[in-house]
Structure 1
Amino acid sequence: MTSAVVVLVALAVLGLLAGAHLYLWRRFVRDVTAPGSPWRRVGAVAAVVLPLTSVGALVAGRSGVPFAVEQALAWPGYLWLACLLYLLLALLAGELVRWVAARTPWGVRRRTATATGPAPQPPAPAEAAPVGAATGTTDAAGTVGTADAAGTAGTVTAAVTGGGTPYGATAAAPSPTDAAPHGTDRAADRDPEATAGPRTGSAPQPEGAGSLTVPLSAPLPGRRVFLARTLAVTAATVGLGTTAAGAWSVLNGPTLKKLTVPLAKLGRRAHGYRIAVVSDIHLGPTLGRAHTRRIVETINRTQPDLITIVGDLADGTVADLGPAAEPLRELRSRHGAYFVTGNHEYFGDAHAWLDHLRELGVHPLENARRELPGFDLAGVNDIQGEDQGEGPDYAKALGDRDTARPVVLMAHQPVMVHEAVEHGVDLQLSGHTHGGQLWPGPYLAALANPTVAGLDRYGDTQLYVTRGAGAWGPPVRVGAESDITVVTLASGD
């Protein structure tokens, strides 16, 4: 990958992070806090510090910083990345709910009922003041009429926006000729129904003026804030709760799975042979010695005949993580423990790790094969090793063998099964996918792997993919529980 491509990818990632955090700030801070409040200031600081911590965690492992600094950045930085994912998913689900609710009949009725009510009625007609009388003012629900001593017409201001004169506009009062002389008995005073014209001192009353309707271009402010806070609290509860449960799943150790795989060539002598399969332990700044010890104890309790470690042991150097791998020395089985490289071994010094594993009593299979009772065990290097001239060599690992004997192949990536089919492999054991690790990760993992987790068949070759025992990046798993699998071989189909 060229430097230009690396820079473009880095800029794209940073742009996505910035956009995601801006969206979170709007929904969790701006929409629910008052300007200038302490909570808004805290939210603004968090919106800057948290993404910087995550970026620091991502680059620290390859920047040569002290391992203690890497650990200090890893826990908050990686955990926040998982929180970010599930907070975004929860907020997007909330946006959909809000959009649907605003368009349901209940939502429409609710908003209309809140903004509609009885309109103020105009004042009752009054006797016209005699010429020269003092100015009279009537004020009822915002309707004001005035007349000066000379009989000059005043103004009438209508507060009813649903009909008549718009809010804030003025309408001319009746002319002096419309007022009856002092002492004159008007027919309109005796019988209001007798005249069809508007009454003196009152605004016209068009049809529909009995209700006050406010335009509903946006929800009322109080309701809008309440809805924003409800969605924020719900999204925070779902997002943070999901991340916490996923972290507990990893830190509590992998679950134990059991699987029986029949092999057509397997003789009766090897029937019931038990292989412990573990992959993707991923020792690093968040998963250390205690994580390895839990894995070793789980495997030893099963009393397997053979232990296979299918790549991606560590994310770091032997100098930093050698002590974390030390419990592997305590692995126990009848025929030993074997290891093949994964892609992460080649991100660092793969040879240093292979030498260290030999010191711990684990046997690396570098494009090699061993004869075991009833079958052959083979292992090939990971595809990532091709960049260093150390890729998989199937001919070396599988050539010149007795094809009447079944062969079990250790290969880190499931995609390597296509070569395994061509070389007559009976069973391939793989990892790499983590089962997707973080939902909806399984759907993305399926785009690059023929099998994400579990047992599948490709021609005459069976492929088993474990979800792995650790986690890469965030020490969190959601929808893809970590596991160690005991595969029991059975003779016959």
Structure 2
Amino acid sequence: MVVLYVLIALLVLGVLVTANWYLWRRLFRDTTARPGPVRRAGAAVIAGGWVLAVGALVAERAGAPFWLQQVLAWPGFLWLALSIYLLLAVVAGEIVRPLVLRVLARRKQAAADGRQEQPEPEPEAEPVHEPGPGPKSAPVPQPSRRLFVSRVVAGVGAAAAVGTVGYGTYGVLRGPRVKRVTVPLAKLPREAHGYRIAVVSDIHLGPILGRSFTQKVVDTINSTRPDIVAVVGDLVDGSVRDLGPAAAPLTRLEAPSYFVTGNHEYFSGAEQWVEEVRRLGLRPLENARTELPWFDLAGVNDVAGESEGHGPDFGRALGDRDTARACVLLAHQPVQIHDAVRHGVDLQLSGHTHGGQLWPGSLIAEAANPTVAGLERYGDTQLYVSRGAGAWGPPTRVGAPSDITVIELASTRA
């Protein structure tokens, strides 16, 4: 097993080294005529970016001093996002490059053919110029066609990558937008028609997203005037000591609020955070259920809690309930839907996927989750997956905008 892990690590390292060498080659070596400071600076930027990125990841996981996490997080995590789109841009450039070269070659050939067709002018006597006393100016060498194309493709690709990451970061920092979804439930009584649940997941408070971001989330939730709030995991990336002040605005949630753990809570001290959110006025549902006036609301721990002996227990949360009543389940990961189906849940509310967060990450998310975002039906159970309010790692989203979803329950008897 150890040998397998070593081989996988070496394979990943080889892929990263190759990808970054290719990035350096296209952005710096191929855009310069000869070795020099530009190539050395490019190598330093790429290597330094990865040092910061690895440092940010290690500092967060190792519980380094919070000030150090903050210093490393912004440049390190943004480099992760930027390197993805720089690589995609230079790969796309491989398609554009030969086309541009071909167009330029045809234009040059057409110009040469045009000169050959023109009649030669009568030779004229060239004026005689006396040499001046000053030094003669040497002709300025023009870059080759291939070098010119490399510079244009690299410049456009770099600009596109920076623009993409910049816009995606702005989208996260401005705060999540409200998404509204109507979900019909056959067992919901007519009196509960229009009942609203504000679903928020994956806020990921940490060294980048802090107290002001939490306040934006709270203000957005309160503006929708929900009946209850469901916080479905991955609230934090860090300890209560470091992030307690960042989470404090949750006390201003105006509707009754419920919380279940996500996998990142178990990286951050789940027991402490369960107590902290309880202190902030939220009710944790740890494999538990509460009977609301018109339906049951249940919650299960995240599967990551199994390593600590606190994994999901569907039997405890749902085993003795009245199955004639509608049941809404809070479960962080969409993969828990299969247990929900077996226990007769009507609607499961989840997060975890971020909708892929950084395209084409959605392709990986689709391979690992039954539903990446939105509403789908599994037998008699419906699953809604939020793309989440924040972001993990890079504070950037591309192709997966953040959201807070207002689920409006509809009675089929209305």
TM over 0.5: yes
Which residue in the other structure is 2:229 paired with?
307
Alpha-carbon separation, structure 2, partners of 1:446 and 1:482: 17
Alpha-carbon separation, structure 1, partners of 2:172 and 2:269: 26
Which residue in the other structure is 1:190 paired with?
none
Which residue in the other structure is 1:262 paired with?
184
1:391, CA displacement in angstroms? 1.1
> Matched residue of 2:219: which SS?
helix
Which residue in the other structure is 2:360 paired with?
440
Larger radius of gyration: 1
> Matched residue of 1:421: which SS?
helix
Is 1:351 the counterpart of 2:271? The answer is yes
Is 1:14 the counterpart of 2:13? The answer is yes
Which residue in the other structure is 2:34 paired with?
35
> Matched residue of 2:94: which SS?
helix
> Matched residue of 1:307: which SS?
strand
Whichever residue aligns with residue 289 of structure 1, its letter is: R
* Deviation readout 1:88-141 (Å, 9 max, x if unpaired): 111111111223455xx756634656899999xxxxxxxxxxxxxxxxxxxxxx
1:82-481 matches, within 5 Å, as: 82-102=81-101, 106=103, 109-110=106-107, 222-333=144-255, 336-481=256-401
Alpha-carbon separation, structure 2, partners of 1:373 and 1:258: 23
Contact 1:21 / 1:51 at 8 angstroms: preserved in 2? no
Distance 1:395 1:244, change over 3 A: same
* Deviation readout 1:232-287 (Å, 9 max, x if unpaired): 11001111100000000000000101111111011111111110000001111111
Which residue in the other structure is 2:43 paired with?
44
Alpha-carbon separation, structure 1, partners of 2:210 and 2:6: 32
Whichever residue aligns with residue 99 of structure 1, its letter is: P
Alpha-carbon separation, structure 1, partners of 2:7 and 2:310: 29
Greater shift in the superposed pair: 41-50 or 316-325: 41-50
Whichever residue aligns with residue 41 of structure 1, its letter is: R
Gaps of 5+ in 2: 117-141
Which residue in the other structure is 2:412 paired with?
492
Alpha-carbon separation, structure 2, partners of 1:289 and 1:14: 36
Between the aligned residues of both structures, percent identity stands at 62
Which residue in the other structure is 2:124 paired with?
none
Alpha-carbon separation, structure 1, partners of 2:16 and 2:55: 13
Contact 2:33 / 2:147 at 8 angstroms: preserved in 1? no
Alpha-carbon separation, structure 1, partners of 2:335 and 2:346: 16
Distance 1:301 1:378, change over 3 A: same
Greater shift in the superposed pair: 61-70 or 449-458: 61-70
Whichever residue aligns with residue 443 of structure 1, its letter is: L
Which residue in the other structure is 1:55 paired with?
54
Which residue in the other structure is 1:124 paired with?
none
Whichever residue aligns with residue 244 of structure 1, its letter is: G
After the TM superposition, list the runs of 4 or more consecutive aligned residues in structure 1 that deviate by more than 6 angstroms: 114-119
> Matched residue of 1:61: which SS?
helix
Whichever residue aligns with residue 486 of structure 1, its letter is: V
Alpha-carbon separation, structure 1, partners of 2:373 and 2:234: 16
Alpha-carbon separation, structure 2, partners of 1:435 and 1:467: 5
Whichever residue aligns with residue 22 of structure 1, its letter is: W
Alpha-carbon separation, structure 2, partners of 1:379 and 1:45: 49
> Matched residue of 1:343: which SS?
coil
Contact 2:337 / 2:383 at 8 angstroms: preserved in 1? yes
> Matched residue of 1:62: which SS?
helix
Over the aligned positions, Cα root-mean-square deviation in angstroms equals 2.1
> Matched residue of 1:390: which SS?
coil
**Size of the alignment, in residue pairs?**
388
Contact 1:434 / 1:468 at 8 angstroms: preserved in 2? yes
Whichever residue aligns with residue 55 of structure 1, its letter is: V
Alpha-carbon separation, structure 2, partners of 1:18 and 1:72: 25
Alpha-carbon separation, structure 2, partners of 1:7 and 1:440: 27
> Matched residue of 1:57: which SS?
helix
Alpha-carbon separation, structure 1, partners of 2:4 and 2:282: 39
TM-score normalised over the length of structure 1? 0.75
TM-score normalised over the length of structure 2? 0.89
Contact 1:262 / 1:492 at 8 angstroms: preserved in 2? yes
Alpha-carbon separation, structure 2, partners of 1:75 and 1:69: 11
> Matched residue of 1:26: which SS?
helix
> Matched residue of 2:301: which SS?
coil
Alpha-carbon separation, structure 1, partners of 2:291 and 2:46: 57
Distance 1:279 1:3, change over 3 A: farther
Whichever residue aligns with residue 479 of structure 1, its letter is: G
> Matched residue of 2:88: which SS?
helix
Alpha-carbon separation, structure 2, partners of 1:468 and 1:414: 13
* Deviation readout 1:365-384 (Å, 9 max, x if unpaired): 00000011110000001111
Contact 1:17 / 1:51 at 8 angstroms: preserved in 2? no
1 or 2 for the larger relative contact order (CA 8 Å, sep ≥6)? 2
Alpha-carbon separation, structure 2, partners of 1:242 and 1:3: 39
Alpha-carbon separation, structure 1, partners of 2:407 and 2:20: 44
Which residue in the other structure is 1:74 paired with?
73
Which residue in the other structure is 2:134 paired with?
none
Which residue in the other structure is 2:128 paired with?
none
